[in-house]
Amino acid sequence: MKMVTAIIKPFKLDDVRNALSEIGVQGITVTEVKGFGRQRGHTELYRGSEYVVDFLPKLKLEIVVGESNLENTLDAITNSANTGKIGDGKIFVTQLEQVTRIRTGESGEEAI
């Protein structure tokens, strides 16, 4: 099993969620986060004053998938979150040792 963590632009959430639903991904956790990468933030105007926005709003998606669905999940996120502009985000994949569904006690891929 793998944990897929994706950092995306907030307005791309619906597109990503729909793409994941189409390939059969049943669960997703979404967290509002702030950060920056190569884009290093930007300058904005507010009531005539200029200020620097160091940390940009992003969404962090956490998705647990089986090995067999990993590539489809990565393709779905990449294709649906892509705008072609800087700041589109990143995807991280980590190995999961154990998953347990609390309600039923199921473990492993049955718990996904």
**How many separate domains does the chain show?**
1
pTM for the whole thing? Answer: 0.85
Q: What is the arithmetic mean of pLDDT over 77-103? A: 94
* CA–CA gap between residue 34 and residue 57 (Å, rounded): 4
CA distance 41 to 74: 26
Output the average pLDDT for the chain: 90
CA 83 to chain centre: 15
Burial of 63: CB neighbours in 10 Å, binned 0-12, 13-18, 19+: buried
Does residue 50 have a pLDDT over 70?
no
CA dihedral 19, 60, 81, 18 (to 10 degrees): 20
Mean pLDDT of 46-55: 70
Percent of the chain with pLDDT over 90: 70
- CATH number of the domain where residue 29 is located: 3.30.70.120
DSSP structure class, residue 36: -
Name the residue range of residue 71's domain: 2-111
Of 35-39, 45-49, 69-73, highest mean pLDDT: 69-73
Percent of the chain scored above 70 by pLDDT?
88
